[in-house]
Chains A and B, each alone.
Chain A
Amino acid sequence: MARATALCKTYGVGEARVVALDRVDVAIRAGELTAIMGPSGSGKSTLMHCLAGLDAADGGEVWIGDTEITALRDDELTRLRRDRIGFVFQAFNLVPTLTALENITLPLDIAGRTPEPGWITRVIDAVGLSDRLRHRPGELSGGQQQRVACARALAARPRIVFADEPTGNLDSRAGAEVLDLMRQCVDSFGQTIVMVTHDPVAASYADRVLFLADGRVVDEMTGPTAERVLERMKRAEGTR
């Protein structure tokens, strides 16, 4: 679905030079929820931004489906994001002047597309906010806002959804609601999702976990549980 080969990204020069991604190879499988974990500064966000065409890599290739995106122009990337990629950020996901419903349909409206009949309703049902659709983001709780953001990410039926710490600002209950929702999207709609997280419990919702350290993929785990992930993280701490 999405893959990167020999992906490199460095920031700064000389003394201040930071290698954020060091020849990373990853393949995201279709119809799976993939979690990316790793210590702070290990390059998780950078990897995700490069995969999603938000940031340009210094070297290597990124494929979304059968499109190689590192060579695309800005307008082509914009179209790619609009039509094939969905995003959920850690916070400030919604346009404050638009209602929840308007935020959900925003990518479609921007593209000037009409949603497939029934799809939006299904997404909204899945998100469980049918009674809050006319509210502005300011009138929603943090968890509700993130659920609206998920619905927005799904509305345009993207090939792949990227979520950078979607539950990072939420308490465990609100976080669980969002994670349940993402899991459900994968299971019932076959959605491909990539999620960056620090939380072993969140990672346990995933089909597969990729571990990053110092800009490299150092490990991966299929069928994770919270305990195994936590153990893996402790081991990593220990080896440092």
Chain B
Amino acid sequence: MMLRLTLRSLAAHRLRLLLTALSVVLGVAFVAGTLIFTDTMDGQAADIAGRLGRGVAVEVRAKDPGGRTRGVSVPVPEAVLRDVRRVPGVRGPVGVVSGYAALVSRDGTEVAAQGAQTPGVLAQAGGNWIPGGDYPLKTGRAPHGPGEMLVDEATAGRGGYRTGDEATVRLKGASRTMRIVGLVGSGDLAGRTLALFDTPTAQRLLLRPGDFTAVRTASDGVSEEVLRGRVAAVLPGDLEAVTGTQVRNELRNDLAALSYVGGLLMAFALIAVFVGAFVIFNTFSMLVAQRTKELALLRAIGASRGQVSRAVVGEAFAVGVVGSTLGLVAGTGMAALLQVILDEGPTSGPAFSGLAVSGTAVAASYAVGTVATVAAAYVPARRAARIPPIAALRDDVASPQGASKRRVVTGTVLAGGGGLALLAGLAGSGLTAQALVGLGAMLVFLGVTVLSPVLSGPVIELLGRGLPRWCGTPGLLARRNAQRSPRRTAATAGALMVGLALVGTVNVLGASMKASVGSQIDASFADDYLVLPVRGNSVDADAVTRVASTPGIARTTPSYTGDVELDGTRVEYGAGNLPTLMASVAHRMVDGGLDTGTDGVLVEDDLASAHHWKVGTVLTARFPDGGRQEVRVAGIYPLVGFGNAMLPESLYKAHTPLPAVHALNLKATTADAATLTALRRSLAAYPDLGIYDRSAWKREKVQSLDQMTGQITLLLALSIVIAAIGVANTLALSVFERTREIGLLRAVGADRGQVRRMIRLEAILIALFGAVLGLLIGLGFGIALQHAMAGLGFDVLVVPAVPLALCAVLAGVIGVAAAVWPARRAGRMDVLTAIAHE
């Protein structure tokens, strides 16, 4: 009986429920799309890793000291290869060399890797070509000697080269012109570029003569694990042997690290689902209110409370299932689209191998969609069950408004608790803290939503104060209508509030970060120019010479970067002539001085205090070339742009086989347009090098922050669209409920335009109410976040008035858009039928 009732009701309200389902669809589509996308990425990563590591039974490489950060990677000496060859059970061991090498196209720019690349996997890779190895030759022949190389087909094509052409390849710190003697297949590279040399050349250009990055061997039939044990026995202490399986797994994980994009997308997907739940909640509340009489009649003829609420929950369940199904379909499409966007070119081969729709993704999509819907309908269902049978006989259909005192208390407790959780989360770090932040934000939203029926009356009164004057009677009616059902208005605005709060947060944070970065650059950009690679990773020695001899340049300060283990902790460091380098960033010392001698280092403040290092502490430094040396802490400095330690140039060069300039700080005799032009002319052959003065550098940094803010805002637009659906849904229902009233207005002379305007203004008021709440919350979140990040150098708080005002305007526009359909319906209503409407 109750099932039949549920089905009837679904059929009766199918359009409305479909519209409601749409709000589930969008959220679930995002969830499903994200899951399918990451599954697909992972499948591809496994595929590539399987092919690249095919046949490897054991790999010898630098020992990973374990812990959170990897240690510095020391090379594997050739002598190890000779030792491994003698291990019983190995078959065809080879030394592998890899390093940075980028093909330069004819216009002088590096051919960049295609598609999204994962950090930790070299995107522009150079190596030694091994016959019968991972990269089969497609045309041409193997490279011999210092002047020859192979490149992959796709990269050659994009650089405009063919077999036999001479081409420039950019290496760490230098460029070389070499002949392309052949092409290798590019099917396995996921958009990476590849340049291959013979082994001695690769060693000389990418690493160090006599060294390998790793040694790999196949097995004679012995198991990987056994062979690994035998190989390990012949290794020196700082090398380790790992199985091929482990190598493939690691490579797979590295390649699939793009799933961090997945994590980010998932956050937005869940926000969308959360907002969708608001819309569901509201629709079911309205449907229940509309059907008060019907439900009361059921109660009067003997239906139990449970039966009534189950009937409503059953409807929600059906809506959730339908919404999830449609969402899954839409999500699959979205994942495909995402892949195309990220791959951006048709040349990356296997990236186009179909989507992986796993059972987990399907199950998760249904779970998220259905649970959110049923949970959102729970309160309305309980409310339905509480309708007294007597309501069947009464005329006032208006749903009882909850005790506002209890509402205020509940709302305040929720919002307050949420705020505390948020602050606690911000103070901590790690996954728990992140979850706490998310939970806190959610509670704040719920709390404010519970409170907002109380707020909606006065706030809308204020927002709509001028309406009757500017828009006449439709304005007055719109305001009254928006105030008519505070709970409905609040829930409708609540959906919009969430999206706008997050947009507000992002904008406050973005503006604060921009201002902080700007003021940091103002304070620390002490020289006149900075030369830095835009693409690629180093400045050619030749470019350094050209810059230094440019007329008008008084002083050129090169800086370098590298990795070192200090007492077992891996640290990224900057190096150079420390007195001039530190002067060029206008820094101050916390303790000690710049006089390092040959064995002194500078350590960043936080790192030093974390390890209780003081001026004078002696540390053991271990370098990537395998070298080991005692160093002395000479000074402690506050965070600047150079990593967590500073080394004198001599120390860097002593332990770096291929030293390469990371950036140049330039002091000019006169920093004018002429100098800049001269500088540009000097570097005309290096289009990948950026030349910045202080304001250009600021623009560069700020631009990337702007991009980030823009992208996140765009992702949040999804939840705003869902909220707009909610507004449209509410208005459509209200228009239906007020059919008679609208008919009356038309009878006494209101024209269609006035009726439409009334609905539109009501929508704008509700949307603005949501915007006001949202932006205020966003402001709060933004300030809290900025505060939490002040320690990271983001110490300036900026409230971006214009973007926030634009958000409010946007909310109004959303209101108008959401009102289009309901307003049309209201305007079209036939006067007589409306008046006769029960």
B832 lies within 8 A of A81 (CB):
no
Pick out which of these stretches binds chain B: A12-20, A33-41, A64-72, A108-116: A108-116
A89 sits at the interface (CB 8 A): yes
Residue of A with least CB distance to B749: A82
A97 lies within 8 A of B748 (CB):
no
Interface members, chain B 728-759 (any A CB < 8 Å): 740-741, 744-752, 754
A75 sits at the interface (CB 8 A): yes
B472 sits at the interface (CB 8 A): yes
Q: Encode B797-838 as 1/0 by CB contact (under 8 A) with A.
A: 000000000000000000000000000000000011001000
Query: Considering the chains assembled together, what is the distance between the CA atoms of A95 and B740 in angstroms?
Result: 9
Range, interface on chain A: 20 to 34
B476 lies within 8 A of A102 (CB):
yes
Pick out which of these stretches binds chain A: B147-155, B260-268, B477-485: B477-485
Query: Considering the chains assembled together, what is the distance between the CA atoms of A94 and B480 in angstroms?
Result: 14
Which residues of chain A have C-beta atoms less than 8 A from B480's C-beta? 97-98
Centre residue among B483, B745, B831 by max chain A CB count within 10 A: B831
Q: Encode B460-499 as 1/0 by CB contact (under 8 A) with A.
A: 0000000000001100110011011000000000000000
Query: Considering the chains assembled together, what is the distance between the CA atoms of A78 and B747 in angstroms?
Result: 8
Known contacts: A102-B476, A106-B473, A110-B472. The answer to whether A95 contacts B749 by CB under 8 A is: no
B750 lies within 8 A of A110 (CB):
yes
B751 lies within 8 A of A106 (CB):
no
Query: Considering the chains assembled together, what is the distance between the CA atoms of A83 and B473 in angstroms?
Result: 16
- Closest CB in chain A relative to B417 CB, distance in Å: 36
Which residues of chain A have C-beta atoms less than 8 A from B749's C-beta? 78-79, 81-83, 107, 110-111, 156
Q: Encode B705-749 as 1/0 by CB contact (under 8 A) with A.
A: 000000000000000000000000000000000001100111111
- Closest CB in chain A relative to B412 CB, distance in Å: 29
Query: Considering the chains assembled together, what is the distance between the CA atoms of A75 and B745 in angstroms?
Result: 14
Q: Encode A35-68 as 1/0 by CB contact (under 8 A) with B.
A: 0000000000000010000110000000000000
Which residues of chain B have C-beta atoms less than 8 A from A55's C-beta? 832
Which residues of chain B have C-beta atoms less than 8 A from A110's C-beta? 472-473, 745, 748-750, 754
B744 lies within 8 A of A95 (CB):
yes
Query: Considering the chains assembled together, what is the distance between the CA atoms of A179 and B820 in angstroms?
Result: 43
Indicate which residue in B483, B744, B831 contacts A92 across the interface (CB closer than 8 Å): B744
Which residues of chain A have C-beta atoms less than 8 A from B750's C-beta? 78, 82, 110
- Closest CB in chain B relative to A24 CB, distance in Å: 18
**Secondary structure type dominating chain B contacts:** helix
Which residues of chain A have C-beta atoms less than 8 A from B751's C-beta? 75, 78-79, 82
Indicate which residue in A89, A96, A109 contacts B741 across the interface (CB closer than 8 Å): A96
Residue of B with least CB distance to A77: B831
Query: Considering the chains assembled together, what is the distance between the CA atoms of A94 and B743 in angstroms?
Result: 11
A87 lies within 8 A of B747 (CB):
yes
Which residues of chain B have C-beta atoms less than 8 A from A86's C-beta? 748
A97 lies within 8 A of B484 (CB):
yes
A112 lies within 8 A of B740 (CB):
no
Residue of B with least CB distance to A152: B748
Query: Considering the chains assembled together, what is the distance between the CA atoms of A106 and B748 in angstroms?
Result: 8
- Closest CB in chain A relative to B830 CB, distance in Å: 9
Indicate which residue in B472, B745, B752, B835 contacts A89 across the interface (CB closer than 8 Å): B835
Number of interchain pairs (Cβ within 8 Å): 68
Which residues of chain A have C-beta atoms less than 8 A from B835's C-beta? 54, 89
A54 lies within 8 A of B748 (CB):
no
Known contacts: A93-B744, A107-B748. The answer to whether A98 contacts B832 by CB under 8 A is: no
Indicate which residue in A54, A94, A97, A102 contacts B832 across the interface (CB closer than 8 Å): A54
Interface members, chain A 92-141 (any B CB < 8 Å): 92-98, 102, 106-107, 109-112
Query: Considering the chains assembled together, what is the distance between the CA atoms of A86 and B740 in angstroms?
Result: 17
Indicate which residue in B472, B477, B748, B752 contacts A74 across the interface (CB closer than 8 Å): B752
Which residues of chain B have C-beta atoms less than 8 A from A97's C-beta? 477, 480-481, 483-484
Residue of A with least CB distance to B837: A92
Residue of B with least CB distance to A75: B751
Residue of A with least CB distance to B835: A89
Which residues of chain A have C-beta atoms less than 8 A from B746's C-beta? 78
A49 lies within 8 A of B473 (CB):
no
A95 lies within 8 A of B832 (CB):
no
Range, interface on chain B: 20 to 34
Which residues of chain A have C-beta atoms less than 8 A from B745's C-beta? 95, 106, 110
Which residues of chain B have C-beta atoms less than 8 A from A82's C-beta? 748-751
Centre residue among A49, A93, A95 by max chain B CB count within 10 A: A95
Indicate which residue in A54, A83, A94, A152 contacts B831 across the interface (CB closer than 8 Å): A54
- Closest CB in chain B relative to A102 CB, distance in Å: 7
Known contacts: A54-B832, A98-B480. The answer to whether A109 contacts B747 by CB under 8 A is: no
Which residues of chain A have C-beta atoms less than 8 A from B472's C-beta? 109-110, 112
Which residues of chain A have C-beta atoms less than 8 A from B748's C-beta? 81-82, 86-87, 106-107, 110, 152
Query: Considering the chains assembled together, what is the distance between the CA atoms of A24 and B749 in angstroms?
Result: 26
Query: Considering the chains assembled together, what is the distance between the CA atoms of A117 and B291 in angstroms?
Result: 46
Which residues of chain B have C-beta atoms less than 8 A from A54's C-beta? 747, 831-832, 835
B832 lies within 8 A of A49 (CB):
yes
Q: Encode A164-188 as 1/0 by CB contact (under 8 A) with B.
A: 0000000000000000000000000
Centre residue among B473, B483, B748, B751 by max chain A CB count within 10 A: B748
Query: Considering the chains assembled together, what is the distance between the CA atoms of A97 and B740 in angstroms?
Result: 13
Query: Considering the chains assembled together, what is the distance between the CA atoms of A96 and B748 in angstroms?
Result: 15
Query: Considering the chains assembled together, what is the distance between the CA atoms of A55 and B744 in angstroms?
Result: 14
Query: Considering the chains assembled together, what is the distance between the CA atoms of A89 and B748 in angstroms?
Result: 11
Query: Considering the chains assembled together, what is the distance between the CA atoms of A102 and B476 in angstroms?
Result: 10
Which residues of chain A have C-beta atoms less than 8 A from B741's C-beta? 92, 95-96
Which residues of chain B have C-beta atoms less than 8 A from A152's C-beta? 748
A109 lies within 8 A of B752 (CB):
no
Query: Considering the chains assembled together, what is the distance between the CA atoms of A232 and B751 in angstroms?
Result: 42
Which residues of chain A have C-beta atoms less than 8 A from B744's C-beta? 89, 92-95
Query: Considering the chains assembled together, what is the distance between the CA atoms of A87 and B832 in angstroms?
Result: 13
Residue of B with least CB distance to A162: B747
- Closest CB in chain B relative to A209 CB, distance in Å: 25
Residue of B with least CB distance to A55: B832
B832 lies within 8 A of A109 (CB):
no
Interface members, chain B 751-802 (any A CB < 8 Å): 751-752, 754
Which residues of chain B have C-beta atoms less than 8 A from A106's C-beta? 473, 745, 748
Residue of A with least CB distance to B747: A87
Which residues of chain B have C-beta atoms less than 8 A from A83's C-beta? 749
B740 lies within 8 A of A109 (CB):
no
Query: Considering the chains assembled together, what is the distance between the CA atoms of A35 and B123 in angstroms?
Result: 92
Which residues of chain B have C-beta atoms less than 8 A from A78's C-beta? 746, 749-752
A95 lies within 8 A of B747 (CB):
no
Query: Considering the chains assembled together, what is the distance between the CA atoms of A83 and B749 in angstroms?
Result: 8
Which residues of chain B have C-beta atoms less than 8 A from A156's C-beta? 749
Query: Considering the chains assembled together, what is the distance between the CA atoms of A174 and B835 in angstroms?
Result: 23
B473 lies within 8 A of A109 (CB):
yes
Which residues of chain A have C-beta atoms less than 8 A from B747's C-beta? 54, 81, 87, 89
Query: Considering the chains assembled together, what is the distance between the CA atoms of A54 and B831 in angstroms?
Result: 7
Query: Considering the chains assembled together, what is the distance between the CA atoms of A110 and B745 in angstroms?
Result: 9
Which residues of chain A have C-beta atoms less than 8 A from B473's C-beta? 106, 109-110
Query: Considering the chains assembled together, what is the distance between the CA atoms of A112 and B744 in angstroms?
Result: 18
Which residues of chain A have C-beta atoms less than 8 A from B476's C-beta? 98, 102, 109
Which residues of chain A have C-beta atoms less than 8 A from B754's C-beta? 110
Known: A54-B832, A106-B473, A110-B754. 18 other contacts (CB 8 A): A54-B831, A78-B749, A78-B750, A78-B751, A87-B748, A89-B747, A89-B835, A92-B740, A92-B741, A93-B744, A94-B744, A95-B745, A96-B741, A97-B483, A107-B749, A109-B476, A110-B749, A152-B748
Closest 8 CB pairs of A and B: A82-B749, A97-B480, A109-B473, A78-B751, A107-B748, A110-B750, A81-B749, A110-B473
Q: List 23 A-B contacts (CB under 8 A).
A: A49-B832, A74-B752, A75-B751, A75-B752, A82-B748, A82-B749, A82-B751, A83-B749, A87-B747, A93-B744, A95-B477, A97-B480, A97-B484, A98-B476, A102-B476, A106-B745, A106-B748, A107-B748, A109-B476, A110-B749, A110-B754, A112-B472, A156-B749
By a beta-carbon cutoff of 8 Å, the part of chain A in contact with chain B is: 49, 54-55, 74-75, 78-79, 81-83, 86-87, 89, 92-98, 102, 106-107, 109-112, 152, 156
